[in-house]
């Protein structure tokens, strides 16, 4: 646990008692603060009370007496589409609003660090797609090399649940736009921006607000190194904003698909090969094609981001390459779960939007595509250019029939359920095919989250008869 500093003996309200909210309450208490807890859900309040915390209704004016800070969970809106009523009340009273990420950056460093030989560092990763894989990949590389490391944020543990730093440790954080948008302190040593595509637009008031939330990690944080994907205009702009000149190697530009030119520090992947250039000269190259845990151009971009972050920490290319080869991938993200009769089964349940599904569809030849669920605004018409490798689509869930109308002449079958889709795809698959779950939709029509959807897919594949495929 990271005890929160700066609030000893003072009242701090905590809104939202999920994983991050309860971790925040514990960390505040450990730092000597008096946490005032509330969640509109009776079940959440019961969990907090089971830990010995008292809950106080923030809807009552008396609850705000003496409160000096409100810490809110990331899922609770503070501006768009409308502020939560408790957050609006805090702002009206002049009570600062923060989140656990802000408290972490204010509390991570302690006096004991003066006795360390190597000061601990924080690598923070944000972006639309690939940030979980990039975060896990950096963490994996550090583990393999033997550097002390912890991983937290939007993946794994809550940030205030981390253990206090050890000598030379590197904490790797995945940060969503919900987390970067509100944090009052953002001071990573290395900040990573993977890419940008439309998502969470209602929460951020449009694309500009969404990008602004990501940009705060760099503009507010002032990292020593900035690793920035430049395959979209926003990334090009951000890299330009951060650099003092063409040769400023505090900025490492990365790409999946284009050779990056100039005198600066760049890492890019083309045709399956990662290349690092500095001062106009190539200094390293890695063949990514045989790494099963990193299939496709989108994962090669993740590899570039992780490689660049680790290089900025002083790690040598050869050791990074060795660690990359042992990366198995993350569950539900282009994860190969089985190979049966020459047929590969890939679980990319995390591909919940058009952009992430498009990347998955470009990663494999001869795809039998399982898609559908609770469709998002705009549909999946944007995927039509990427359906050339799809032998047949097996459509499930609430949006199955809508998806069928949008995929043009691509052969398809409306299966409704995951069970039917897996059975049909496995029965019809031939050696060399990939049965790919890349839904391009949310899971909430049939599953509580994308993890449960992916787990169901994996369980059905595991239960297939030996002759399937």
Instruction: Give per-residue pLDDT as tens, 396-409.
Output: 999 999 999 999 99
| 421 token code pair | 């889709």
Beta bridge partners of 36: 13
Pick from 193-202, 278-287, 360-369, 406-415: least confident: 193-202
For residues 121 and 363, the model is more confident at 121
Q: In sequence order, what are the beta bridge partners of 230?
A: none
Tokens of 185: 């302190």
24 is in an annotated binding site: no
Q: What is the mean pLDDT of residues 123-128?
A: 96
Query: What pTM did the predictor assign?
Result: 0.85
Q: Is 312 annotated as a binding residue?
A: no
> What's the pLDDT band for 84 if we cut at 50, 70, 90?
very high
Q: Give residue-wise pLDDT tens across range 421-456.
A: 999 999 999 999 999 999 999 999 999 999 999 999
* Domain spanning 107-325: CATH 3.40.1190.10: yes
Instruction: Compute the average pLDDT of residues 377-382.
Output: 90
Cis bond leading into 28, ω under 30°? no
Pick the more confident residue, 348 or 334.
Answer: 348
Known binder of ligand: residue 132?
Answer: yes
Which pLDDT does position 298 carry in this prediction? 87
- Residue 467 in this model has a pLDDT that exceeds 60: no
Match 């000269």 to its residue by tokens. Answer: 281
Annotated binding residue 154:
no
The pLDDT value given to residue 390:
97
Mean pLDDT of 138-142: 98
Q: What is the mean pLDDT of the chain?
A: 94
Q: Is 126 annotated as a binding residue?
A: no
- What tens digit of pLDDT does each residue of 311-321 get? 999 999 999 99
Strand-pairing partners, residue 413, are 394
pLDDT of residue 175: 96
Backbone angles phi and psi of 12, in degrees to 5: -130, 120
**CATH 3.40.1190.10 occupies which residues in the chain?**
107-325
Domain with CATH 3.90.190.20 in the chain: 335-462
Query: 41 a known binding residue?
Result: no
- 131 annotated ligand binder: yes
Superfamily of domain 335-462: Mur ligase, C-terminal domain (3.90.190.20)
Residue spans in the chain of domains classed CATH 3.40.50.720: 11-98
Tell me: domain 11-98, CATH 3.40.50.1820, correct?
no
- Residues 370 and 436: beta-carbon distance below 8 Å: yes
Confidence of residue 221 (pLDDT cuts 50, 70, 90): confident
Residue 468 banded pLDDT, cuts 50, 70, 90: low
């Amino acid at each position: 646990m990271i005890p929160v500093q700066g609030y000893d003996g003072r009242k701090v309200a905590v809104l939202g008692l999920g994983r991050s909210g309860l971790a925040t309450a514990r960390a505040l208490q450990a730092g000597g603060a008096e946490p005032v807890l509330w969640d509109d859900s009776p079940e959440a309040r019961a969990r907090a009370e089971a830990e010995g915390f008292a809950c106080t209704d923030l809807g009552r004016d008396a609850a705000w007496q003496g409160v000096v800070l409100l810490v809110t969970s990331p899922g609770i809106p503070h501006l768009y589409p409308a502020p939560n009523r408790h957050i609006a009340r805090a702002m009206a009273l002049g009570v600062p609003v923060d989140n656990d990420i802000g408290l972490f950056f204010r509390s991570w460093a302690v006096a004991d660090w003066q006795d360390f030989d190597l000061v601990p560092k924080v690598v923070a990763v944000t972006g639309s797609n690939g940030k979980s894989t990039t975060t896990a990949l950096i963490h994996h590389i550090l583990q393999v090399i033997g550097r002390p490391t912890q991983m937290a944020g939007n993946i794994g543990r809550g940030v205030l649940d981390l253990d206090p730093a050890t000598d030379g440790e590197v904490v790797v954080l995945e940060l969503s736009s919900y987390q970067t948008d509100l944090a009052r302190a953002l001071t990573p040593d290395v900040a990573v921006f993977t890419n940008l595509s439309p998502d969470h637009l209602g929460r951020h008031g449009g694309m500009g607000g969404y990008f602004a939330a990501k940009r705060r990690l760099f503009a507010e944080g002032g990292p020593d190194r900035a690793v920035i994907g430049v395959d979209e205009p926003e990334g090009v702009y951000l890299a330009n904003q951060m650099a003092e000149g063409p040769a400023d190697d505090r900025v490492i530009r990365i790409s999946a698909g284009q050779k990056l030119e100039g005198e600066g520090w760049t890492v890019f992947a083309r045709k399956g090969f990662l290349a690092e250039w500095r001062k106009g000269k190539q200094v390293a190259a890695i063949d990514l094609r045989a790494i099963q845990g990193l299939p496709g151009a989108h994962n090669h971009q993740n590899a570039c981001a992780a490689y660049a972050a680790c290089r900025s920490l002083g790690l040598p290319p050869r050791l990074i390459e060795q660690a990359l080869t042992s990366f198995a991938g993350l569950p539900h993200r282009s994860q190969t779960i089985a190979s049966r009769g020459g047929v590969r089964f890939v679980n990319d349940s995390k591909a919940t939007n058009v952009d992430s599904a498009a990347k998955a569809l470009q990663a494999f030849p001869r795809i039998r595509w399982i898609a559908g669920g609770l469709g998002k605004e705009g549909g999946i018409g944007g995927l039509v250019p990427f359906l050339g490798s799809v032998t047949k689509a097996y459509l499930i869930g609430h949006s199955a029939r809508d998806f069928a109308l949008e995929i043009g002449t691509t052969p398809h079958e409306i299966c409704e359920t995951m069970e039917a889709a897996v059975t049909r795809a496995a029965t019809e698959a031939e050696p060399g095919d990939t049965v790919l779950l890349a839904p391009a939709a949310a899971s909430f029509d049939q599953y509580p989250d994308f993890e449960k959807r992916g787990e169901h897919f994996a369980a059905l594949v595991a239960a297939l008869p030996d002759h399937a495929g």
